[in-house]
């Protein structure tokens, strides 16, 4: 017998027992035994054995620790949706035998699969594929993992005519190739997967789009089908309702409709134009950011948008990032439109010798950068070619690292909560312990960095997920994902150690011993690109900004021309009090004026007719709430000013 600790409870089982049986599932069935799944969660879709994700058919042969992986977890959804993509590919191959399959990964909100077909799929095709997927799910076809000898795998896919799979195998150095079979379909995959097609209870294919193989325009255009799947029809229904709400909040529609920003093909893709109202919101964001950063001891700088290519050679970007950079020739010399702000801050630091007494030095900038993004990945304000980053670098001694990271995380949480976000997911990215040779820096530096990040998160009280192997080669980092009003995740704050740039630019400080010591460098951003953050805010609030962020806080509207002077006097008093005001004196009917103000999502509407002018009052309306009654001008002003505050 072997000892298996399952979700904290130890039991004895026969060697060779499938982990799914230990977790309570029977064969390929769908119902767990009572008590084997944490309360409130869905049945297991996979398991974690001594930290490694495995299929439920994985056989245990020694003492292990086992954890249930359900659809409720990030890993569980990814496994479930990846399995659903295989089901879709099986349905496509049955309906369209000449189709060639490529790749079908899980993505943030479902899955997709790319197919090479002579004629791109249509909406009618999606309905047929979805119907066939449902039929295959009802058959409860076992999903079987196999390790094939390399040559056998090659022959198998060659016989099927799956040229894309053959190309993928060429990039796999292993002697054995991992595949998954379900009935008449086999796919190249590392897994893990669900044990039966019957576990997929509800599917919806959402859309079809074009995509190049390897995202290279020189390759053949493929037909990409997006979908989503759930363990119940109720969950699918709720998800589809959420998608409809997301469409209603789409910043690409709301932004122009609210006169915030626009994009113009004649100017070039991925370049945002900020209108007066959008620029007002942007300015409010930046002013609050600057106030809080100055209070936290940051010094604000500005660096040029263009620099000699040699600077980017020193930083390493020209060697590893050139395909994403705009290169220019100026007087027969190569220059670069800056893709990031780091090298400029390094040069400023290097202009004088710094003592340990000068540190920490916190250097911040709203720096505009330019990145050569492919047109296919551009997406409104969320993915652009030119954007302004709330960038900062902290130069410090080893002893100061933990406090500085704590300061970054604390400031991040404060700012995000002020903008209306109070739910976060945090990841700590560290080295892959099995491949330490891939990383720059010493073990001592990495240990200091990782421990400082951990202690800072614990001091702030933020739970986090440790992601081994996810650190970039030049240092560990913290990523904070905020959750918006629809529960969607957005990556914004990043706190990144860097053991690379300091030595490249020969940055040091003079210690108490009078000797030069390498300075420790922390990169960080909180809001990220302000264009993207603006898009997130628009969708989070559905365009209805809180009063302190609203580009227009008050609109004064006259009922007839007779109240023109009174409306202007009210507007001027509101403006004198520091509010952002518009005065609508048009001759339209008041219902139309109110309707337009509601459509523009203006927080407060002050309606003045003959009675209000005679009594020195205003009729107050609140966007989304309706009529709040007739009050004095001073009472209306006090009510508005009460809401015109940054939360916290």
474-525 pLDDT tens trace: 889 999 999 999 999 999 999 999 888 888 999 999 999 999 999 999 999 9
CATH superfamily membership of 261-303+338-541: Bira Bifunctional Protein; Domain 2 (3.30.930.10)
pLDDT tens sequence across 329-372: 999 999 999 999 999 999 999 999 999 999 999 999 999 999 99
Each residue of 502-531: b (16+ CB within 10 Å) or e?
beebebbbeeeeeeeeebbbbbbbbbbbbb
Is the pLDDT assigned to residue 432 strictly greater than 90? no
Domain ranges of the chain: 2-70, 75-248, 261-303+338-541, 304-337, 554-643
The model's pTM is 0.86
Residue 40 above 60 pLDDT?
no
Task: Please report the beta strands in 117-216, taking only residues with DSSP state E, as ranges in sequence order.
Answer: 144-149, 176-182, 185-188, 202-212
Spatial separation of the C-alpha atoms in residues 381 and 243, rounded to whole Å: 19
User: How many CB atoms lie under 10 A from the CB of residue 39?
Assistant: 5
Report CA-CA distances (Å) from 351 to 303, 347, 506, 508.
14, 7, 12, 12
Q: Report the alpha-carbon distance of residue 209 to residue 615 in Å, rounded.
A: 61
Residue range 52-61, pLDDT digits in tens: 999 999 999 9
pLDDT in tens, 547-585: 999 999 999 999 999 999 999 999 999 999 999 999 999
Specify the CATH class of 554-643 in words: alpha beta
- Label residue 42 by pLDDT band (50, 70, 90): low
CA gap 454, 464 in Å, rounded: 9
Using the predicted structure, report yes or no on whether residue 286 has a pLDDT greater than 90. Answer: yes
Topology of domain 2-70, per CATH?
A: Ubiquitin-like (UB roll) (3.10.20)
Rg (CA), the chain: 29
* Tens-place pLDDT, residues 89-100: 999 999 999 999
The burial of 286, by beta-carbon neighbours within 10 Å (0-12 exposed, 13-18 middle, 19 or more buried), is given as middle
CATH class for the domain made up of 75-248:
alpha beta
Are 341 and 311 within 8 A, CB to CB? Answer: no
């Amino acid at each position: 017998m072997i000892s298996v600790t399952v979700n904290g409870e130890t039991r004895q089982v026969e060697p060779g027992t499938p982990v799914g049986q230990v977790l309570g599932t029977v064969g390929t069935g769908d119902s767990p035994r009572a008590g084997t799944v944490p309360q409130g969660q869905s049945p297991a879709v996979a398991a974690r054995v001594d930290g490694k994700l495995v299929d439920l058919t994985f056989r245990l042969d020694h003492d292990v620790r086992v954890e249930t992986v359900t659809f409720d977890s990030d890993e569980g959804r990814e496994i479930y949706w990846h399995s659903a993509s295989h089901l879709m590919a099986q349905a496509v191959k049955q309906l369209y035998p000449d189709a060639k399959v490529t790749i079908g990964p899980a993505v943030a909100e479902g899955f997709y699969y790319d197919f090479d077909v002579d004629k791109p799929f249509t909406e009618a095709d999606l309905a047929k594929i979805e119907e066939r997927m449902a039929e295959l799910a009802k058959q409860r076809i076992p999903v079987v993992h196999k390790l094939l000898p390399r040559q056998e795998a090659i022959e198998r896919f060659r016989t099927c005519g799956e040229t894309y799979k053959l190309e993928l195998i060429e990039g796999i150095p292993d002697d054995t190739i991992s595949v998954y079979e379900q009935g008449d379909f086999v796919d190249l995959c590392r897994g893990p997967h669900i044990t039966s097609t019957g576990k997929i209870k509800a599917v919806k294919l959402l859309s079809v789009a074009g995509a190049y193989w390897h995202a290279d325009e020189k390759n053949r255009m493929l037909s990409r089908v997006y979908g989503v799947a759930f363990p119940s029809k109720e969950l699918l229904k709720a998800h589809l309702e959420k998608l409809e709400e997301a469409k209603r909040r789409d910043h690409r529609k709301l932004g122009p409709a609210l006169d915030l920003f626009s994009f113009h093909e004649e100017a070039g893709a991925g370049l945002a134009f900020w209108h007066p109202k959008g620029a007002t919101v942007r300015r409010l964001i930046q002013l609050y950011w600057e106030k809080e950063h100055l209070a936290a001891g940051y010094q604000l700088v500005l660096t040029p948008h263009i620099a000699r290519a040699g600077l980017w050679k020193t930083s390493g970007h020209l060697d590893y990032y050139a395909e994403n950079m705009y290169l220019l020739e100026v007087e027969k010399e190569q220059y670069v439109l800056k893709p990031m702000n780091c090298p400029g801050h390094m040069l400023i630091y290097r202009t004088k010798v710094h003592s340990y007494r000068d540190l920490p030095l916190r250097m911040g900038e709203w720096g505009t950068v330019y990145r050569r993004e492919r047109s296919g990945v551009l997406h409104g304000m969320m993915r652009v070619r030119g954007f302004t980053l709330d960038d900062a670098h902290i130069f410090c001694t080893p002893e100061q690292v933990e406090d500085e990271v704590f300061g970054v995380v604390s400031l991040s949480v404060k700012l995000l909560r002020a903008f209306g976000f109070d739910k976060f997911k945090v990841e700590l990215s560290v080295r892959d312990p099995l491949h330490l040779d891939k990383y720059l820096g010493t073990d001592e530096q990495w240990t200091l960095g990782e421990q400082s990040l951990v202690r800072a998160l614990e001091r702030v009280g933020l739970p986090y997920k440790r992601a081994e192997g996810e650190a970039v080669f030049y240092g560990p980092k913290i990523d904070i994902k905020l959750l918006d009003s629809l529960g969607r995740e957005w990556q914004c704050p990043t706190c990144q150690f860097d053991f690379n740039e300091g030595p490249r630019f020969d940055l040091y400080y003079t210690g108490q011993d009078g000797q030069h010591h390498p300075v420790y460098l922390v990169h960080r951003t909180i809001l990220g690109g302000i264009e993207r953050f603006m898009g997130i805010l628009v969708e989070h609030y559905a365009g209805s900004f809180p009063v302190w962020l609203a580009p227009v806080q008050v609109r004064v509207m006259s009922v007839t021309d007779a109240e023109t002077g009174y409306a202007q006097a009210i507007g001027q008093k509101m403006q004198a009090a520091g509010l952002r005001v518009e005065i609508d004196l048009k001759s339209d009917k008041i219902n139309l004026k109110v309707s337009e103000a509601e459509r523009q999502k203006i927080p407060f509407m002050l309606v003045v007719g003959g009675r209000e002018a005679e009594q020195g009052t205003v009729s107050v309306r609140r966007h989304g709430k309706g009529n709040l009654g007739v009050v004095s001008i001073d009472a209306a002003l006090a009510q508005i000013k009460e809401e015109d505050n940054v939360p916290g």
